[in-house]
Amino acid sequence: MKKQSLSIIIATMMGFALVPAASAQTVDGSVLYTPNVDLTSLSQNGFVGYVGGVFLTSFNYFPEVNYLGFADPTGAPLANSHVVSLWDNSGGNVLLASATVPAGNAAPLLDGYRWVQLSSTVNLTYNNYYYIVAQVGNVDTEGNPMDSWGDLIQNNSPDGTLGSSGPVANNGQITWSGQYVAAQQGYEFSRDGVYGSTDDATTFNQAGASDSIYSAANLGFNVVPAPEPSTLAFLGAGTALLFGRWSRPKN
């Protein structure tokens, strides 16, 4: 092997070794948080506006988001559609992504939330504050009651334990993902429920309860599993068969 080629290989390997831990990729199926409590057991919050939470991202990840979700703890079709939005709070609120979770049961239901996929993946910055909020309290033209989503949920302090894949914050009503938040003890202050008026979706007030969130809104990465390769192969074979039949010349 030539010396020049060997030098290039060594330099490349050193470059990979110097990549910071913050470059870790978000794992498929990740969500911001999972409630540890039955949301239907809470006193339903009747607020009309936007509710959700503010959170500080982990220093160990550049989190990715391509799904936004709205709570559906009963599993029943939603009576109303709900706008869910993600905001960057690093220098004034900047809208990063928004999706409308439709009424009915068309949106996939997983782990108590109905999910809508974004048109493209949003990359969050590590060690940065973000808002995730959902529109709540709206009723349709037939006067159906508001959809059930629960209320403010909160963990106890101190929070955070070391799991097999890093810090896990789950000392109470919430299991936070360490891929999205600073989950180690001492960072309980960096998460709080927020709410805002329907007239101004860029201004959010904090609930003043550390390590908490209003449970209406959620976010995640590849939350809805992609079709299995065998399923795709089957679909491909079926498509090829049909194409061959359609393209066969007539006698």
User: What is the token pair recorded at 106?
Assistant: 């068309």
* Spatial contact of 122 and 97, defined as CB atoms under 8 Å apart: yes
| β 82-88/212-214 pair status | unpaired
User: What is the token pair recorded at 239?
Assistant: 């498509």
Q: Average pLDDT by consecutive 10-residue portion of the chain (251 residues)?
A: 47 42 78 97 92 94 95 95 94 91 97 97 95 84 77 95 81 95 94 89 90 98 80 45 47 51
* pLDDT score, position 200: 73
* pLDDT score, position 152: 98
User: What is the token pair recorded at 202?
Assistant: 């860029």
Interacting residues of 119 by C-beta distance below 8 A, sequence separation 6+: none
State the Cα–Cα distance between residues 187 and 176, nearest whole angstrom: 12
Distance between the two ends of the chain, CA-based, in angstroms? Answer: 62
Interacting residues of 68 by C-beta distance below 8 A, sequence separation 6+: 84, 85, 86, 97, 98, 99, 101, 115, 116, 118, 132, 217, 218, 219
* pLDDT score, position 141: 52
